[in-house]
Amino acid sequence: MSIETVNSVNTRQLKDMFLYVGDQVVACKPLLTKIDSAIGDGDHGIGMSVGFTKADENLKANEFTSINDVFKTIGMSMISSMGGASGIIFGTMFVGGIKGLETKVSLDLPLLAGIFNKALEAIKQRGKADLGDKTMIDALQPAVEALEKSAAANESLVEGLRKAEIAALQGVENTKQYIANFGRAKSLGERAIGHQDAGATTVLIIFKSMKEWLEGQENG
Amino acid sequence: MKKIINNPGNVVEEAIEGYMYAYKDSLTKVNNVNGIIRKDLKDKVAIIIGGGSGHEPLFLGFVGEGLADGVAIGNVFAAPTPNTIQDVAKSVDQGKGVLFIYGNYAGDVLNFDMATELLEFEEIQTQTVLVADDVASAPEERKGDRRGIAGDVVVFKIAGAASEKGWSLQEVVRVTQKAADQTFSIGVATAPGSIPGEEEPPFVLGDDEIEIGMGIHGEPGMKRTKLMEADDLTDELLDILLKESKIQTGDEVTVYVNGLGSTTLLELLIVNRRVAQILNKKGIKIYDMDVNSYCTTQEMGGFSITFLKLDDELKDLYDAPADSPYYKKTQKIGEEVK
């Protein structure tokens, strides 16, 4: 695929992409711990590291015949290993979007936008949080909207992810202005202002890493 | 922080292994998950407790007669996973229903709720009572936002006794909810605990600083102040606790003075002395007092005071026998503690 724009990935590539994403999130454990310690209880980085390490293990141990299975394996790895709010919420980010989805063997931008949009709704329903509550939704929702807009404009997968990353980054920045309405930062009130949300930061790392992996394919 | 651990990633599993070596005669490990159940399960409503590790003897220390039938154990300071809760529930259910009791934290609620959904498919009936005793964590009008701290223990005790009497799930839930509604705690932190394997403590307090109302994971409290003498500090905590709980002259309470990890029994006893003095002075009857470190956060310094406001029904359940590795009640204490 050397200099071609990547418009879709197959099951094998999707697995490799999320192995890369997992490595990046695990590598960010100290950063996430630091961010979470400022206003939470400091365990977000540890939890995400546990979850993606388990997902890596399960991805590497299996061959997959559909992208549905790749998403499901990642999500269930998180739900069954992490515990805490993050286990359910980030697990739902991966399993919530494939529920009821017919079996797919390749993933393009409209499908990715659709999966994450459905996941976003599932997360909101489960966690009862919405935009502006200083949670991961503050990064995920703008990222999903960017994916959808980019898909509607017939842009490439990598272009969509570039825009999702920018939107997620803006979302992370926005969390600095919010007081927290969920989780352990809730009791901080105004004192949470000025600090970014750790979960939103993880969402940013996920989109940024997906984009990086795809760019690596284009350049490689 | 000097910690006696091996690989930080294995602390929970290794601690459970050690626990099972010690208590294998009365407890059974649930296969493949971090769950422990009683060996002598009875034909009754099953009580399941759970929460993050790092607070020992909470939660695993309270599985036994007259207490919990099973415990779902999470990673350090993280709620147990849905499949852990599900497998523990399946292991203890006798067809009479399962009651989940745990502290009111977002992560615990999410994981227990997902477990509840999974158990519905297996036709296991579940109910939930949340412990939300920390009066410092939210004002009364947002009582539903309050966190659960050492009050867990007394709520487990009441629920375990009710289920042991063979009551229906509905009745066990009713009295457990009543106990939870009548349980009030206030804490103070003098020093942070640690997350095993992490270099940095989750929060910093100055050498001469304490924080009144701080949560057991370092959640911010009501005010940061200078260290003071035990009696003055206890007075200040009791002022808040009595105001928030509306416990007054003529009421009857059982008291728990709970150490958070590194505060010594010597200190806790000095606090308990003052609690008894003040309650006696105010004409609040003391049914029983328990001075212990049940709900800890590693080497966190500080303590909490918990009141359960009693009525005749709760007294009877409080007095019922209980026997787990870290909580035993063998004889009835009928008279007021002087």
Angle at A209 between CA A205 and CA A215, to 5 degrees: 150
Residues 6 or more apart whose CB falls under 8 angstroms from that of B70 comprise B30, B35, B36, B37, B38, B46, B47, B48, B49, B63, B88, B89, B91, B92
Judged by CB atoms closer than 8 Å, whether chains meet at A43 and B195 is answered as yes
pLDDT of residue B238: 98
pLDDT of residue A39: 82
Judged by CB atoms closer than 8 Å, whether chains meet at B107 and A43 is answered as no
Q: Is residue B6 part of a domain?
A: no
> Beta-carbon neighbour count of residue B142 at 10 Å?
10
| pLDDT greater than 70 at residue B332 | no
Selected for mutation to probe chain A from B7, B12, B75 (highest A CB count within 10 Å) is B75
Nearest-CA distance A1 → chain B (Å): 40
Burial of B302 (0-12, 13-18, 19+ CB in 10 A): buried
Q: Is residue B189 part of a domain?
A: yes
Whether B154 and B219 share a structural domain: no
Whether B27 and B165 share a structural domain: yes
Residues 6 or more apart whose CB falls under 8 angstroms from that of B253 comprise B247, B279, B284, B285, B286, B287, B307, B308, B309, B310
Tell me which of B122, B150, B181 is where a domain ends: B181
| Nearest C-alpha in A relative to B107 | A85
pLDDT of residue A181: 84
Give catalytic status of residue B195 as yes or no: no
Q: Is B198 on the interface with A (CB under 8 A)?
A: yes
Q: Per mean pLDDT, which range of A35-49, A198-212, B232-246 is the poorest?
A: A35-49
Judged by CB atoms closer than 8 Å, whether chains meet at A79 and B81 is answered as yes
- Angle of helix A198-219 relative to helix A29-39, nearest 10 degrees, comes to 160
> Beta-carbon neighbour count of residue B249 at 10 Å?
9
Q: Which residues of A lie inside 8 Å of B (Cβ-Cβ)? A: 33, 37, 41-43, 46-47, 50, 79-89, 126-127, 182-184, 186-188, 191
CA pair distance A159, A145, nearest whole angstrom = 14
Whether B81 and B161 share a structural domain: yes
| pLDDT greater than 50 at residue A123 | yes
Selected for mutation to probe chain A from B110, B135, B203 (highest A CB count within 10 Å) is B110
pLDDT of residue A6: 80
Nearest-CA distance A167 → chain B (Å): 27
Q: Is residue B298 part of a domain?
A: yes
ipTM of this complex prediction, to 2 decimal places: 0.85
| Nearest C-alpha in B relative to A85 | B107
Does an H or E element contain B107, and which? helix B106-121
Give catalytic status of residue B260 as yes or no: no
Give strand pairing partners of B322: B329
Tell me which of B181, B213, B245 is where a domain ends: B181
Whether B83 and B46 share a structural domain: yes
Whether B123 and B267 share a structural domain: no
Judged by CB atoms closer than 8 Å, whether chains meet at A82 and B202 is answered as no
Judged by CB atoms closer than 8 Å, whether chains meet at A82 and B218 is answered as no
pLDDT of residue A2: 43
Q: Which residue has the higher pLDDT, B210 or A37?
A: B210
Is the domain spanning A9-219 CATH 3.40.50.2300? The answer is no
Does an H or E element contain B302, and which? strand B301-309
Q: Is B75 on the interface with A (CB under 8 A)?
A: yes
- Angle of helix A44-61 relative to helix A11-27, nearest 10 degrees, comes to 150
| pLDDT greater than 70 at residue B335 | no
Q: Is residue B335 part of a domain?
A: no
Q: What is the mean pLDDT of residues A55-65?
A: 96
pLDDT of residue A190: 81
Confidence grade of residue B337 (pLDDT, cut at 50, 70, 90): very low
The string of pLDDT tens digits covering residues B192-210 is 999 898 888 878 899 999 9
Q: Is B116 on the interface with A (CB under 8 A)?
A: no
Tell me which of B181, B216, B234 is where a domain ends: B181
Judged by CB atoms closer than 8 Å, whether chains meet at A84 and B202 is answered as no
Residue type at A161 in one-letter notation: L
Judged by CB atoms closer than 8 Å, whether chains meet at A184 and B217 is answered as yes
Whether B73 and B150 share a structural domain: yes
| pLDDT greater than 80 at residue B256 | yes
Residue type at B94 in one-letter notation: Q
CA pair distance A102, B37, nearest whole angstrom = 40
Q: Is residue B3 part of a domain?
A: no
Judged by CB atoms closer than 8 Å, whether chains meet at A88 and B217 is answered as no
Whether B108 and B167 share a structural domain: yes
Residues 6 or more apart whose CB falls under 8 angstroms from that of B178 comprise B313, B314
Judged by CB atoms closer than 8 Å, whether chains meet at A84 and B219 is answered as no
CA pair distance A35, B287, nearest whole angstrom = 45
Q: Is residue B168 part of a domain?
A: yes
| pLDDT greater than 70 at residue B255 | yes
Does an H or E element contain B117, and which? helix B106-121
Contacts of A47 in chain B (CB under 8 A): 75, 78
The string of pLDDT tens digits covering residues A67-85 is 999 999 999 999 999 999 9
Contacts of B114 in chain A (CB under 8 A): 79, 88, 126
Of A82, A126, A182, the CB nearest to B78: A82
Residues 6 or more apart whose CB falls under 8 angstroms from that of B24 comprise none
Whether B230 and B139 share a structural domain: no
Nearest-CA distance B108 → chain A (Å): 6
Whether B72 and B194 share a structural domain: no
| Nearest C-alpha in B relative to A82 | B81
**What CATH number corresponds to the domain at position B209?**
3.30.1180.20
| pLDDT greater than 70 at residue A4 | no
| pLDDT greater than 50 at residue B66 | yes
Q: Is residue B228 part of a domain?
A: yes
Catalytic residue among B38, B157, B178, B217: B217
**What CATH number corresponds to the domain at position B28?**
3.40.50.10440
Q: What is the mean pLDDT of residues B271-293?
A: 98
Whether B96 and B175 share a structural domain: yes
Q: How many domains does chain B have?
A: 2
The string of pLDDT tens digits covering residues B89-128 is 999 999 999 999 999 999 999 999 999 999 998 999 999 9
| pLDDT greater than 70 at residue B266 | yes
Whether B177 and B187 share a structural domain: no
Q: Is B296 on the interface with A (CB under 8 A)?
A: no
Contacts of B200 in chain A (CB under 8 A): 33, 37, 42
Q: Is B111 on the interface with A (CB under 8 A)?
A: yes
Residue type at A81 in one-letter notation: S
SS (H, E, C) chain A: CCCCCCCEEEHHHHHHHHHHHHHHHHHCHHHHHHHHHHHCCCCHHHHHHHHHHHHHHHHHHCCCCCHHHHHHHHHHHHHHHCCHHHHHHHHHHHHCCCCCCCCCCEEEHHHHHHHHHHHHHHHHHHHCCCCCCCCCHHHHHHHHHHHHHHHHCCCCHHHHHHHHHHHHHHHHHHHCCCCCCCHHHHHHHHHHCCCCCHHHHHHHHHHHHHHHHHHHHHHC
Judged by CB atoms closer than 8 Å, whether chains meet at A85 and B110 is answered as yes
Domain hosting B33: range is: 11-181
Express as a percent the part of chain B with pLDDT over 70. 98
Contacts of A86 in chain B (CB under 8 A): 78, 107
Q: Is residue B112 part of a domain?
A: yes
| pLDDT greater than 80 at residue B36 | yes
Q: Is B329 on the interface with A (CB under 8 A)?
A: no
Q: Which residue has the higher pLDDT, B245 or A218?
A: B245
Whether B158 and B18 share a structural domain: yes
Size of interface A-B (CB pairs under 8 A): 94
| pLDDT greater than 70 at residue B331 | no
